[in-house]
Amino acid sequence: MTRRAVGAGVVSLRKDSERRGPPFERVLVANRGEIALRIIRACHELGSQAVAVYSDADERSRHVRAADQSMRIGPAAPAESYLRVDAIVDAALQSEAQAVHPGYGFLSERAELAEACAEAGLVFVGPGPETLRGLGDKLAARATAAAAGVPIVPGTLEPLAVPGDDEDRLRAEARRIGWPLLIKAAGGGGGRGMRRVDSPTELGAALAAAAREAAAAFGDRAVYLERYVERARHVEVQLLGDGRGEIVALGERDCSVQRRHQKLVEEAPAPGLTADQRSTLHELAMRVARGAGLSNAATAEFLLTPDTDFWFLEVNARLQVEHGVTELVADVDLVHEQLWLAAGRPLSERVRAAAAAAAEPRRHAIEVRVSAEDPAADFAPAPGTIGLWREPGGPGVRLDSGVEEGSPVTTDYDPLLAKLLVSAADRPAALARMRRALAEFEIGGLQTTLSFHRWLLEQPDFVTGEGLATDLVSRSWQPAAVLPPAALRAAELAAKAAAAWSPAPAAGAPASDTHDTAAERWWRQGVAESLERRP
């Protein structure tokens, strides 16, 4: 993709004060939910108009109302709306937008959208299609990193298909890599097509399952192998590039609190690293970025081993869900910067200064992802309608959400409802602030991950930072230990309410009525008839 070149060569000497007027008059935001709203806010702050797109399910959602203009792009199913390159480009052309911001997820890392934008004379806010293609191929990214002298997680370097001729080679490679290991989809990410294998006897079945999942999710059954590092942490580096070879690292994030390879909590900086270790990590990330010819914003992900080795995992060539924690620590608005960079401006003085200070951060930020999921049921999606929505506030609290009371939450889309972020002078103060903010946050109508986060903020492994590892959740989350006292208290509060309040008027909408069968469960019969006999 050709970018608007603004006086190539001398450009990098320009000062921030030359950023007059908006980077674009009108920007189409090719996403939904909290990230669409977050990008629309950035557009408005820069003086740009924002165009929203929406599926039939989102017609009345917050991001649509916040935009200056909105365009319907299809039915609720993502494949018929938010994943349609042609519909997005048409909407951008019809609304006379100059640029398309893809957010994260959906089409954000699809080279096809970047290409279609370029062909239509639109600026794609993100890396060029070649870079997206190169980095989207996880194995090519591993090869790029290895070529740049960056350590990668030990494993295979080429895609191998199962079932098929490659199976014998995979078995041989697996023996070489050792146990436990991970099978990963060559074409994907987000935990799909990923399988942990602990012993040779499990390998055959795991390979078949991973290949099936990969084929279903990414249309490609090729997989590769990586060593599984026990007690490893997940750290990642925020990168910005001007597309002319200048690349900076804006600090790192720790995203070790995960379940099924999906992040639940992120923080910046990564706890427990020295300034030298930070510098090393940032330098490794910049090397990968240079090797990949990165422009705009991206994130390089690494494993941090118990021996404090950084092993490259992959690059996400887009804005990350968790970009906010970096913004709070670096005092930089990454979406502003993305738009300026896409408009052909150089990296700003503010960004350079933040990058120069990134190894010795002076603030700490934490984000928790509040999703419509039931932490007591292995984080199963918990769709519904938001009945009650009481947001936390006060000093140092930022809430990025795209929902409100009455918002339907369906299984068509990601269950993420809101990102609650806090920042403070140091990690203990940030933890205290997060505890306080979580206590203020009340969501009704559906189960969310708030209960999990409240538990996590009390766990010594997390609070000290010493137990941070990608298996922290699977190792220690036991909802059975925290749910019963809460249920008992809830029953008491319901009894109190029933005793104190006169019955609700016989109103219209009937509540769900699924309790009869369950109410007959045997042990409920055991509810203290004896209580009646108590003095």
Partner 1 sequence: MSERPRLRVTIDGTLPLAIQPAAADVDALPPAGPGESVTELAPSAQDRAHGRRRFEVLVGGWRFEAVVEPAQQAALRERAARAVAGQQAHAAISLRAQIPGRVVRLWVAEGEQVEQGQRLLAIEAMKMENEIRAPQAGVVRDLRVNLEQKVERGDELLSVG
Query: In whole angstroms, how close is the CB of 449 to partner 1 at the nearest point?
Result: 8
Query: Using CB under 8 A, which of 21, 165, 276, 524 touches partner 1?
Result: 524
The answer to the question of residue 286 lying near partner 1 (CB under 8 A) is: no
* Binding positions for partner 1, 238-257, rule CB under 8 A: none
* Binding positions for partner 1, 463-482, rule CB under 8 A: 479-482
The answer to the question of residue 432 lying near partner 1 (CB under 8 A) is: no
* Binding positions for partner 1, 357-386, rule CB under 8 A: 374, 376-377
Q: Helix (H, G, I), strand (E, B), or coil: what is residue 421?
A: strand
Query: In whole angstroms, how close is the CB of 419 to partner 1 at the nearest point?
Result: 16
User: Largest alpha-carbon pair distance within the chain?
Assistant: 89
How many angstroms separate the CA atoms of 179 and 171, rounded? 12
How many angstroms separate the CA atoms of 76 and 82, rounded? 9
Asked if residue 233 lies in contact with residue 270, where contact means CB atoms within 8 angstroms, the answer is: yes
Query: In whole angstroms, how close is the CB of 480 to partner 1 at the nearest point?
Result: 6
Query: In whole angstroms, how close is the CB of 534 to partner 1 at the nearest point?
Result: 7
The answer to the question of residue 439 lying near partner 1 (CB under 8 A) is: yes
Q: How far is CA 451 from CA 79, 114, 134, 255, 372, in A?
A: 32, 40, 40, 19, 11
The answer to the question of residue 172 lying near partner 1 (CB under 8 A) is: no
Residue in 287, 318, 363, 427 annotated catalytic: 318
* b/e 439-462 (16+ beta carbons within 10 angstroms → b): eebebebbbbbbbbbbbbbeeeeb
Looking at the Cβ atoms of 8 and 531, the one nearer to partner 1 is 531
Asked if residue 421 lies in contact with residue 442, where contact means CB atoms within 8 angstroms, the answer is: no
Query: Using CB under 8 A, which of 88, 107, 450, 468 touches partner 1?
Result: 450
The answer to the question of residue 491 lying near partner 1 (CB under 8 A) is: yes
Amino acid letter, 358 = A
* Binding positions for partner 1, 497-516, rule CB under 8 A: 497-499, 501, 503-504, 506-516
Note if 318 is an active site residue.
Answer: yes
The answer to the question of residue 492 lying near partner 1 (CB under 8 A) is: yes
Binding track, positions 387-416, relative to partner 1; x by CB under 8 A: xx----------------------------
The answer to the question of residue 490 lying near partner 1 (CB under 8 A) is: yes
Q: Which long-range contacts (CB under 8 A, 24 or more apart) does 203-212 make?
A: 203/170, 203/171, 203/174, 207/162, 207/167, 207/170, 207/183, 208/162, 208/163, 210/162, 210/183, 210/184, 210/185, 211/161, 211/162, 211/163
Number of residues that bind partner 1 (CB under 8 A): 73
* Catalytic site positions: 318
